[in-house]
Amino acid sequence: MEPMRVAVLGATGAVGREMLRTLEERRFRLDELVPLASPRSAGVRLPFADDVVEVRAVERATFEGVDVALFSAGADASREWAPVAVAAGATVVDNSSAFRMEPDVPLVVPEINREALDGHRGIVANPNCTAITAMMAVAPLHVAAGLSRLVASSYQSVSGAGHRGVAELLEQVEKLRGAEEELARPDPEALPAGEVFGRTIAYNVLPRGGTFDPDGATTEETKFVNETRKILGLPDLEVAVTVVRVPVVVGHSLAMYAEFDKDLSVEAARLVLARFPGVEVVDDPLRDAFPTPLDAAGRDEVLVGRIRPGPRRRSLQLFASGDNLRKGAALNAVQIAEALTG
Amino acid sequence: MEPMRVAVLGATGAVGREMLRTLEERRFRLDELVPLASPRSAGVRLPFADDVVEVRAVERATFEGVDVALFSAGADASREWAPVAVAAGATVVDNSSAFRMEPDVPLVVPEINREALDGHRGIVANPNCTAITAMMAVAPLHVAAGLSRLVASSYQSVSGAGHRGVAELLEQVEKLRGAEEELARPDPEALPAGEVFGRTIAYNVLPRGGTFDPDGATTEETKFVNETRKILGLPDLEVAVTVVRVPVVVGHSLAMYAEFDKDLSVEAARLVLARFPGVEVVDDPLRDAFPTPLDAAGRDEVLVGRIRPGPRRRSLQLFASGDNLRKGAALNAVQIAEALTG
């Protein structure tokens, strides 16, 4: 076999580090790992496969001989470096939003639409972390009964904004230590705010993901709608979503209401989900079992539960939690790389 | 004028204390305050109107001569003591779920259905804190355009479970101090759990409110559906809701998707809401203005924002945050008392 070289751009970020761990955990067949980042992070040493690898500053030459490049350094870096990597012969699995809605770029969750990889032209996009979590719960039900409408509200962790998001939450919790009771009637001037979320995220929820589009949706909401439609191959699907950031470290969750074309009982939905790879049904009212982000953190499976009838015929309600750094990002990207090289 | 005696049952609880503060802040016309609680809390001294009042153990005699009794000591206490108070000649404003769905008990948010008070027979019910917050945002739109469907997901603070809920969150945050980064791959055995929520609520969200009904809904979800229908006078309204507890100290929020019988533009919805007493529209994407529970905490108004079109004609999406101890409980109860005695 030819040697397999895998590059990770953004290797020092929250998702990048998880990509390294995931490659290692899944024993991805590789002969050389090329950890890349901006010049600022060059020289950082990261543990990998009982060894230590040194991060290199990304430049044209670093993609030479690379077979697969996992990108997680933001949309600007992807726009700059993906064409370079593709020109050098690599296939790029891009975790940013840069190319997701390009018609000739597959947007893939391997368990759901692996076949979409067939037409790729060098770039494959990894969906948004919230969309992946939602789709793992909804796509199996769609296959079973035909999804016709989706209303979702998210509960997204701060690690979706990277290390800095986590640091900002923890700094704010520390600043408020001993004064938490005063949060019952807070002094707005005294509340900690930060650069990442722009507002107090500790002991608060922020119904805004990304920035605002002119129609009043946030960029994360627009991504969710567009990516859901593309992944499911339902370009006209009715999707309503509100993206909300919550003071959770790792784990994105969604409360969802879904309507279907055909009857789908709660029992049938549980069975369909339990059989779907990458999903674990956690749904037992009698045992007080339901998904939470803390239960999903550090795990590969998306947890789905609270499956119950909706108020109208052919509707269901459900709740899903997934590790946004794993299945929501690094794991899904590595699974795409596995499918590309397998 | 005859002397006005007001009793508060559950005076030492989170809502009870807020009731005392609210009576004082709103200069409720009263000549005597009778703070009541279980024998366990008798003797506790509480500040009231530049003075201190001593809590008395509730018994039959404590309701003699009482005109209005605000109850916030749980459903069991309400079932035991409301008939006693009514027999003694008092009108009971009950914050528990005990009587809310009784046909002859009005369920009242004064700004919305004050006229329902007319038929009362001694007991008036205060709705669930989440239902009040949602209804303050939705009822004005219903009057304008006729609500036909509602899908809601809640973000409920721990103070909805009283002082003990707040204490449990803060204890868990303290236990996890310095180990928050480990929450990315938590050891389930090492996670703090507590009696109030039964699971880790710090850095987590729990999609379960109350206990589970046989149909898979939680008691708080069933309350929300039933109370929404009763307050709006729409017994067949389609309501889907998921109740989720979040690590917020004070302030309940809801992400909502609503369908109407008539056209209702975003601009018209903002105007209708801005004119509605007790609502403040906080909705300016260009200024990054939206409601959050921390902004609502300590305030009387329910904040409504993120008003935007839904995916189908005659639908809107919105987000509301309200102080669950104030408008969600104590303030609404005192407003009912004002309406009854005014």
Of all residues in chain A, what percent carry a pLDDT higher than 70?
100
The CA distance from A41 to the nearest CA of chain B, in Å, is: 21
Confidence at B152, pLDDT banded by 50, 70, 90:
very high
Burial class (CB in 10 A: 0-12, 13-18, 19+), A338: middle
**Range from A85-94, A190-199, B129-138 carrying the lowest mean pLDDT:** A190-199
Provide, as residue numbers in chain B, all residues whose Cβ is less than 8 Å from the Cβ of A209.
none
Provide, as residue numbers in chain A, all residues whose Cβ is less than 8 Å from the Cβ of B249.
180-181, 183-184, 203
Instruction: Give pLDDT, residue B2.
Output: 81
Residue of B nearest to A306 (CA): B216
Contact B255 A240 (CB under 8 A): no
Residues A319 and A291: beta-carbon distance below 8 Å: yes
Instruction: Give pLDDT, residue A123.
Output: 98
Q: Return d(Cα B176, Cα B229) in angstroms, integer.
A: 41
CATH code, A131-163+196-324: 3.30.360.10
Residue of A nearest to B300 (CA): A185
Q: Which residue in this structure is represented by tokens 């507002």?
A: A199
Contact A205 B250 (CB under 8 A): no
**Range from A105-114, A229-238, B176-185, B232-241 carrying the lowest mean pLDDT:** B176-185
Q: What average pLDDT score do residues A152-160 get?
A: 97
Confidence at B342, pLDDT banded by 50, 70, 90:
confident
pTM over 0.90: yes
Residues A112 and A93: beta-carbon distance below 8 Å: no
The pLDDT mean for chain B works out to 96
Interface test mutation site (partner A, options B151, B171, B180, B323, max chain A beta carbons within 10 A): B151
Instruction: Give pLDDT, residue A19.
Output: 97
CA B53 to chain CA centroid, nearest Å: 25
Q: Return d(Cα A88, Cα A198) in angstroms, integer.
A: 39
CATH 3.40.50.720 fits B5-127+330-341, yes or no: yes
Give A304-336 pLDDT, tens digit per residue.
999 999 999 999 999 999 999 999 999 999 999
Confidence at A99, pLDDT banded by 50, 70, 90:
very high
Q: Of A120, A142, A163, A252, which is the active-site residue?
A: A252
The CA distance from B89 to the nearest CA of chain A, in Å, is: 35
Q: Is A2's pLDDT higher than 90?
A: no
Contact B311 A248 (CB under 8 A): no
Instruction: Give pLDDT, residue A307.
Output: 98
Interface test mutation site (partner B, options A249, A290, A325, max chain B beta carbons within 10 A): A249
Q: What average pLDDT score do residues B64-88 get?
A: 98
Give A110-148 pLDDT, tens digit per residue.
999 999 999 899 999 999 999 999 999 999 999 999 999
Q: What is the per-residue DSSP string for B62-127?
A: GGTT-SEEEE-S-HHHHHHHHHHHHHTTPEEEE-SSSSTT-TTS-B--HHHHGGGGGG-SSEEEPP
Contact A294 B191 (CB under 8 A): yes
Confidence at B297, pLDDT banded by 50, 70, 90:
very high
Residues B64 and B38: beta-carbon distance below 8 Å: no
Nearest CB partner across the interface for B292, out of A206, A294, A297: A206
Of A8, A1, A2, A4, the C-alpha closest to A53 is A8
Contact B255 A298 (CB under 8 A): no
Q: What is the per-residue DSSP string for B220-257?
A: HHHHHHHHHHHHHT-TT-EEEEE--B-S-SS-EEEEEE
State which amino acid sits at residue A100: R
**Interior CA angle at B125 toward B38 and B24, to 5°?**
65
Q: Is B193's pLDDT higher than 80?
A: yes
Provide, as residue numbers in chain A, all residues whose Cβ is less than 8 Å from the Cβ of B330.
none
Q: Return d(Cα A84, Cα B110) in angstroms, integer.
A: 64
Contact A244 B255 (CB under 8 A): yes
The pLDDT mean for chain A works out to 96
- Strand order of the β-sheet with B91-94 is B56-57, B32-37, B5-9, B68-71, B91-94, B123-125
Instruction: Give pLDDT, residue B262.
Output: 98
Domain ranges of chain B: 5-127+330-341, 131-163+196-324
Instruction: Give pLDDT, residue A335.
Output: 98
The superfamily in CATH containing domain A5-126+330-341 is NAD(P)-binding Rossmann-like Domain (3.40.50.720)
Residues A101 and A230: beta-carbon distance below 8 Å: yes
Of all residues in chain B, what percent carry a pLDDT higher than 70?
100
Instruction: Give pLDDT, residue B247.
Output: 98
Q: Is A1's pLDDT higher than 80?
A: no
Residue of B nearest to A287 (CA): B212
Contact A250 B183 (CB under 8 A): yes
Instruction: Give pLDDT, residue A24.
Output: 97
Nearest CB partner across the interface for A208, out of B225, B290, B315: B290
Instruction: Give pLDDT, residue B141.
Output: 98
What letters, b where the CB count within 10 A reaches 16 and e where it falls short, cover A109-121? bbbbbeebeeebe
Instruction: Give pLDDT, residue B340.
Output: 97
State which amino acid sits at residue B337: A
**Is B120 a residue of the active site?**
no
**Is A252 a residue of the active site?**
yes
Give A249-266 pLDDT, tens digit per residue.
999 999 999 999 999 999
**Range from A62-76, B24-38, B128-142, B180-194 carrying the lowest mean pLDDT:** B180-194
CA A53 to chain CA centroid, nearest Å: 25
Nearest CB partner across the interface for A155, out of B205, B315, B319: B205
Tokens of A265: 């009982």
Provide, as residue numbers in chain B, all residues whose Cβ is less than 8 Å from the Cβ of A248.
203-205, 247
Tokens of B140: 């004005």
Residues A1 and A58: beta-carbon distance below 8 Å: no
Listed in sequence order, the residues at least 6 apart from B137 whose beta carbon sits closer than 8 Å to its beta carbon are B254, B256, B273, B279, B302, B304, B318, B320
Q: Return d(Cα B141, Cα B318) in angstroms, integer.
A: 11
Confidence at B119, pLDDT banded by 50, 70, 90:
confident
Contact B184 A297 (CB under 8 A): yes
Helix (H, G, I), strand (E, B) or coil at A124: strand
Q: Return d(Cα A75, Cα A9) in angstroms, integer.
A: 12
Instruction: Give pLDDT, residue B231.
Output: 98
Q: Return d(Cα B108, Cα A26) in angstroms, integer.
A: 58
